[in-house]
Amino acid sequence: MSNPELDRSTPEKTLHALEEAYRNGDFELALRCRNFEHEAELIQQHLRPAGAAPPAGPRGELADALQRQWRQARPPDFLGVVTQVVAVEHFAGRFFTVTQNIRNADGRTFPQRTFMSHAEDGWAVLCPVPAYEPPQETKPWWVFWR
C-alpha cells in the first residue's frame, strides 16, 4: 500500500476510512476510497434490468460521469454515526454486497447494504447508495396462472 494512512485491506477498514474522510471534510481521501471504473463496470454488467441494453458510451465516460456526479453531491453527515460490518457476500466477479448495522446520532438503528469491489490494491466503495434486492413482483394468492 502506497500510503499508510489509508488501509483498504478489508471492507470494514475501507468503509470506516470513507466515513472518517466525510467527517473530516477530506474529500481527496474519500475519493481514494472509491473506484468509479469498477462502479461503471458494475452498472453496465450487473445492475441493469434483464434484457435492457447497457448504458451508451464507453465505460470510461460512464466512470467520469459518476465521479462528476459524486463531486457535485452533498456529502453525507456521519457525525455521531456508528457503523459495524456484519456480512460480506459475493455478488458477481469482483463485486460484493456489504451489510452494515448503522446507529445514527439520535440512536435509531438500521441495516444498510452497500456495493463494494475488491482488487489487488484493496477494497473500494461503489454506489454508496444502499444496495437493495430487486423488487419482487407481488401477486395476490389467487393469481396462479401468470
Determine, yes or no, domain membership for 5.
Answer: no
Residue 78: pLDDT band (50, 70, 90) is confident
User: Which residue matches cell numbers 468503509?
Assistant: 15
Determine, yes or no, domain membership for 146.
Answer: no
Instruction: Collect contacts of 27-34 with beta carbons under 8 A, ≥24 apart.
Output: 27/71, 27/75, 29/5, 30/75, 31/67, 32/3, 32/6, 33/6, 33/8, 33/124, 33/125, 34/67, 34/70, 34/124, 34/125, 34/126, 34/128
Determine, yes or no, domain membership for 73.
Answer: yes
pLDDT tens track for 13-72: 999 999 999 999 999 999 999 999 999 999 888 876 666 676 667 788 989 999 999 999
Q: Which domain holds residue 71?
A: 11-126
Number of folded domains that form the chain: 1
Determine, yes or no, domain membership for 36.
Answer: yes
SS3 7: coil
Determine, yes or no, domain membership for 97.
Answer: yes
Whole-number Å distance between alpha carbons of 91 and 97: 6
Cell, residue 107: 440512536
Determine, yes or no, domain membership for 99.
Answer: yes
Residue 48 sits at the vertex; the CA angle it makes with 47 and 54, to the nearest 5 degrees, is 115
pLDDT tens track for 89-128: 999 999 999 999 999 889 999 899 999 999 999 999 998 6
pTM (predicted TM-score): 0.79
Residue range 116-143: average pLDDT? 69
Determine, yes or no, domain membership for 136.
Answer: no
| CATH for 42 | 3.10.450
Residue 28 sits at the vertex; the CA angle it makes with 26 and 30, to the nearest 5 degrees, is 70
Determine, yes or no, domain membership for 132.
Answer: no
* Partners of 117 in the β-ladder: 95, 124
